[in-house]
Amino acid sequence: MTLATAVLSRGVEDSLPPLRHRARERRGHISTAMLLAPPTIYFVLLFVVPLMVLIAYSFYTYQNFNFTAKLTLSNYAQALTNPALRDFYFRTLKIAFGVSIAVVAISYIFSHILMYILPRAKRILYFLVLVSLFGGYLVRIYAWRTMLGRDGVVNSFLVSTHVVSSPLSFLLNSNFAIVIALLNFLIPLGVLPIFSAMQNISPRLLEAAEDLGASRIRIVRTIVLPLTTRGIRAAFAFCFIATMAEWVTPQLLGGPLDQFVGNQILYEFGETLNWPLGAAIALTLIASVVVILGVIFGLLRLVTRS
Amino acid sequence: MRHGYFRRRGAAARITARTYVAFVLVFLFAPLLIVVIVSFNPTPNMNLEAGLSLRWYEQVARDPLVVAAFGRTALAAVCTAVISAVLGLSGALGAVRLTRSRWRTAVFTIPLIPLAFPALLFGVGLATFYHAIGVGFSIWAVIAGHVILAMPFVFLIMGAALERFRFSLLEAARDLGAGTLTIFRTVTLPLLRPAILGAMFLSMAISVDEFVIAFFTAGSQQTLPLVLYGRINLGVNPGLNAIGSVLLVMTMALAFLAARSSVLELP
């Protein structure tokens, strides 16, 4: 999941090994298929088929904490029209937008500084960001409880330095905590594609622009930004998808009114055992994410072209 | 080294830039450092003056549930690494033989899908799949899912290694009369060893750290992250920081080993 953004931002075409024209290619057809078969079969069996089963389950009928293979559309009707669920959707959408934009902005400035202002330290700084990726997903979220709780590190510090007289309660079990934790694990994933996109810009291009008298702002606007849109898109899409389908962070750091769509999916699977409805919500979620990203990127293309 | 763009940046700009970078890095590492520091704290509450203690580590090491979960996490990591290495290597060896560029693009694109796919969706998908075919939840169910997450990385790493691979060596071996299996055992495998090892370490790091798939498919056979999660929900217990630190050290060490095998190459 983590290095994916780097690969995606570089683009598949660029990362393909070079074509090999070899004389014995014709003879190799059978063994090529034999080599490709095991991972393909595994992938189909344990990735494609499970998703097919999920789709099938989303049409099942739920009754009395049980479900049968009687096909119905009512799960989707419920997933799309339930007003309580709509609140979950809008809440998740709002945070996903805010967090993704913030991650892109923070990562962009960070990558820009690394590339052009502190280039001598860029390798070690980039390596540190990569290392922080392996900080453990759950451990990191848990750490924010230690940091932001009533007796947590932040409150102890604020009280002992007399910045506040009593511990702040809004730090934990709030939207604030969710956003902080999401930023914390998504920033490295934002830096990865944006930084690698900037690495691919030829320094000569920038030198040429500078020699021709372009201001720094103009260089950023007309060269750096257009050449890094792929990285920005990858970073945004990744953060958006990850946040829209997130449930652990709101579960552990949010209050009861801060839960995401993911928590509702979990609730249907774990508590009411209404797997068909849970599956329908999950599939509606992924479909809406694809549509929203498509619309955003389509609009962006229109704006940048004009 | 330094090209012309931004060369004229003044001291003030550099100081601002350094402050910004420092802030971001502190923000990224603060939670990790806090977990490790608190895990050595003798008192249940955060108290930096109280000195160091291994109390929580001893408590955790004597906890049979934690020890069992540690064993399962290690088992899942090793199995995931071995299975995804075999499948990923097989796929990469096949993929580089493809000559039609349309096929190659497909073969190198499709494995990327699980990487960007939300774990929640894959998790509930796997759970319904196991339910539909009547397979119970267990550590093996978790491993089967972890392989899907790790295999793309192995495949990509192997693909990159094969990019540098000198296929003429294989032809030379064939000309010298070696059979396909001998060539694979004595030429291909030794040359690809660093990449294979690196990919396996990365797979292990992914498996050790993975939470969502395990949550949906482990059943009662909990892994270490699941034990951590269960106890967070029960309330704060300082032993949790010790479990968290162990997990952190495991993933970071594995990631470091993977990086040393030149897998996580800097661009």
- Residue A240 CA to residue A221 CA, distance in Å, equals 24
**Interface contact B27-A184, CB threshold 8 A:** yes
pLDDT value, residue B22? 95
The predicted model scores a pTM of 0.88
Q: What dotted CATH number matches A58-305?
A: 1.10.3720.10
- Name A68's bridge partners: A61
Count H helices, E strands: chain B?
Answer: 13, 0
Task: Provide the pLDDT for residue A17.
Answer: 53
Domain boundaries, chain A: 58-305
Quote the pLDDT of residue B181.
84
- Residue B202, in any domain of the structure: yes
Q: Is a pLDDT exceeding 70 seen at residue B149? A: yes
CA gap B191, B187 in Å, rounded: 6
Residue at B1 is within a domain = no
Spatial CA neighbour of A92 closest among A150, A179, A193:
A179
Of B87, B127, B259, the CB nearest to A39: B87
Chain B residues near residue A269 by CB distance under 8 angstroms? 124, 127, 216
CA dist B133 and A69 (Å) reads 14
In this prediction, residue B10 has a pLDDT band, given cuts at 50, 70 and 90, of confident
Q: Report the pLDDT value the prediction gives residue B255, as an integer from 0 to 100.
A: 85
Q: Distance from A104 to chain B by nearest Cα, in Å? A: 13
Question: What pLDDT tens digit does each residue of chain A (306 aa) get?
Answer: 444 444 444 444 454 555 554 444 445 566 888 889 999 999 999 999 999 999 999 999 888 777 888 888 989 998 888 898 999 999 999 999 999 999 999 999 999 999 888 888 888 898 888 888 877 889 999 899 888 887 777 888 888 888 888 888 888 889 999 999 999 999 999 999 999 999 988 888 888 888 888 888 888 888 888 899 989 999 999 999 999 999 999 999 998 889 999 999 999 998 888 999 999 999 999 999 999 999 999 998 888 776
Is residue B56 a part of any domain in this protein? no
User: Quick one: which H or E segment has residue A68?
Assistant: strand A66-68
- Identify the DSSP state of A115: I
Q: B25, B265, B3: which is closest to A117 by C-alpha?
A: B3
- What's the complex ipTM? 0.88
Nearest to B46 by CA among A184, A182, A148, A255: A148
Q: How far apart are CA A19 and CA A228, in angstroms?
A: 27
Tokens coding B117: 């796919």
CA B250, B252, B258, B263 torsion-angle sign:
positive
Residue of B nearest to A218 (CA): B5
- Partners of B3 on chain A (C-beta within 8 Å) are 203-204, 206-207
Interface test with A, best of B16, B100, B120 (most A CBs within 10 A): B120
Q: What's the domain range around B240?
A: 63-260
**How far is CA A201 from each of CA A4, A227, A229, B122, rounded to the nearest angstrom?**
20, 7, 12, 36
Collapse the DSSP code of A92 into the 3-class scheme (helix H, G, I; strand E, B; otherwise coil) and give the result: helix
The answer to whether A97 and A305 have CB atoms below 8 angstroms apart is no
pLDDT in the model for residue A207: 85
The answer as to whether B41 is a domain residue is: no
Number of domains in chain B: 1
**CATH number of the domain residue B114 falls in:** 1.10.3720.10
Write the CB contacts of A135 (distance below 8 Å, at least 6 apart in sequence). A185, B28, B29, B31, B32, B248, B251, B252
CB A194 within 8 A of CB A239: no
Alpha helices in A113-151 (DSSP H): 122-133, 137-148
Q: At what angle do helices A83-112 and A175-199 cross, to 10 degrees?
A: 40
Distance CA A146, CA A168 (A): 14
Q: Which chain A residues are within 8 Å of B115, Cβ to Cβ? A: 1, 3-4, 7-8
Residue B58 placed within a domain: no
